[in-house]
Structures are given as structure tokens and as C-alpha cells.
Amino acid sequence: MSGHSKWAGIKHKKALVDAKRGQTFTRAAREITMAAREGGGDVDGNFRLRLAMQKAREVNMPADKIQSAIARGTGASKADSLEELRYEGYGPAGVAIMVDAVTDNRNRTAPAVRHLFAKHGGNLGDSNSVAWMFERKGVLEVSAERDPDAAGLAAIEAGADDIRVDGESVEVTCEAGLLEAVRSALEAAGARVESAEVTMLPKQTVAVDEERAPAVLRLLEALEDDDDVQQVYANFDIAADVLERISAGV
């Protein structure tokens, strides 16, 4: 499980113990609000909202904050004027990067994102300059201590596209609309789902060596630290052992 998916896994585990818990809650709340605004507050009929609530629970967001975020999205309570924006560009080593943001002031967010790209050796591009390199997929990171192969088989039977087994860990990729079905199948097979999300996966990757990897990760870290940024996607491929060695110091 090398590449950006491995980095995302490291970041997910870090978020659970990170001192920036307030920022984590803010992002979770914004995603819930935007999901409720887009598809309504009925959890059963709003896939995006169900997924956003699940991710909020994974970072231990209190139930009252979840309900407040839903109320802001449905108009039941006062909400800021938020909009979703996407920025695209290239980082060091020619890595393609997409940045999803939720902001109440695009005149603040756009210059900030542009500055971060430039500061860390990248450049911001035009709309769809790199989006065509990615596709929307469901990705699950699973711990299957008892039988990883059985977990993988259960996921395939539920419609998963790809399974990667690394010891007791299993990475599952599926169509976005099958994420819940695959998750249920994995849990029924006795696997523990550590994270499940709809994300943008690269159709092809750019190999990055250990010398240039820190620069790439510094840019991603800087983008992820911006308060308006929700998600960062990139098409780098850095060996898993290299990621483990350098991620703590980024």
C-alpha cells in the first residue's frame, strides 16, 4: 500500500491523536453541513451525509456538534455562507495535486492556496488541468487479524474492484456507490474497518524518490493545515518504508 493512500492512512491515524482536534472537528462539521445542504437532513436518503457522519464519529466528534452541523446545512439554524471550491496544480517532482476547500471567502482562500503551492516548489494550474488524472472511488482501510484473505474475498463478493493485502492490513477499492455494501460485508466477515471514504484516486502515479519525497510531503502538509482545505489528493508513489521514515518529520 504505497503512494498517496498510504500517506492518507498515516494522516488518518495521526488525526485521532493530533493536537489539532479543533481543526479536525471543523472540517468534519463543514462536510456534514455541505452534505445536508446538498441532499437534505434525512440520513437514510443522503449517502454523502451518512458518510460524513461516520467520519465525524471516527474522530470522536460529539453528537451534539454533528446535529448542529446538520441543522446549519438544512437551514434549521443560522449558517455561514459556505461554498465548495476545487484547486488544481502540480507539486515538486511533477506530482499532480487537487485541493478541495470549503470557504466563506474565496478571496481569502484562493491566494492562500496559490501561495502555498509557490512556497513549496509547486504551481497552481487552471481548472481541469489535473482533475482528468483522477477518478472517484471508495477506499477502505481494514484490519483483518483473523483472516485477511477471507476479508478480501468478502469484499470482492460485495463488488470491490481491487484488494491489496499487507500482513493483517487490507486496502479495498470499490465504486463510490458500493462503499456501504462493501463495508457491511467486511464487518460481517469479522474485519475491523479503520477508515472508509469516498476519495479521488489517481489513474496513474508518479514515482518519487527519497530525495524529493520530503518536498512533496511538505507541500501536502502545508495545504492540509490550511483552515479552508477539506481534502488534498495527489498522484505520487513513494515507497511505504520511505513514507514511514520521513512522515514523522514532515
Residue with cell 472517484: 136
According to the model, what pLDDT value does residue 20 have? Answer: 57
Kindly state whether residues 89 and 208 are assigned to the same domain: yes
This prediction has a pTM of 0.84
* Domain ranges, residue 210: 83-131+204-247
> Beta-carbon neighbour count of residue 30 at 10 Å?
23
CATH code, domain with 125: 3.30.70.980
Distances 58 to 62, 79, 141, 207 between C-alpha atoms, Å: 11, 24, 13, 31
Question: For the chain, what is the mean pLDDT?
Answer: 87
Q: Pick the residue with more confidence: 20 or 41?
A: 41
Q: Are residues 88 and 51 in the same domain?
A: no
Residues 45 and 13 reside in one and the same domain: yes
Domain identity same for 28 and 89: no
Count of C-beta atoms within a 10 Å radius of residue 9: 19
Domain-terminating residue out of 187, 202, 217: 202
pLDDT number for residue 151? 87
Domain end (from 74, 102, 123) = 74
For residue range 153-200, what is the model confidence (pLDDT) as tens digits?
999 999 999 998 877 788 899 999 999 999 999 999 888 898 889 999
Cell numbers representing residue 231 in the block: 481534502
Run of H or E residues at 36: helix 21-39
Which residue in 152, 147, 161 sits closest to 203, CA to CA? Answer: 161
- Do 152 and 125 share a structural domain? no
Q: Is the pLDDT of residue 1 over 70?
A: no
Q: Are residues 219 and 235 in the same domain?
A: yes
**Over residues 13-32, mean pLDDT:** 71
Q: Give per-residue pLDDT as tens, 85-126.
A: 999 999 999 999 999 999 999 999 999 999 999 999 999 999
209 & 107 share domain: yes
> What are the pLDDT digits (tens) for 189-227?
888 898 889 999 999 999 999 999 999 999 999 999 999
Check residue 116 and report its DSSP letter. H
The least confident of 104-108, 145-149, 232-236 is 145-149
Residue 145, C-beta contacts closer than 8 angstroms, at least 6 positions apart: 168, 192
> Does the pLDDT at position 55 exceed 80?
yes
**Are 57 and 41 within one domain?**
yes
The tally of domains found in the chain comes to: 3
pLDDT given for residue 19 in this prediction: 45
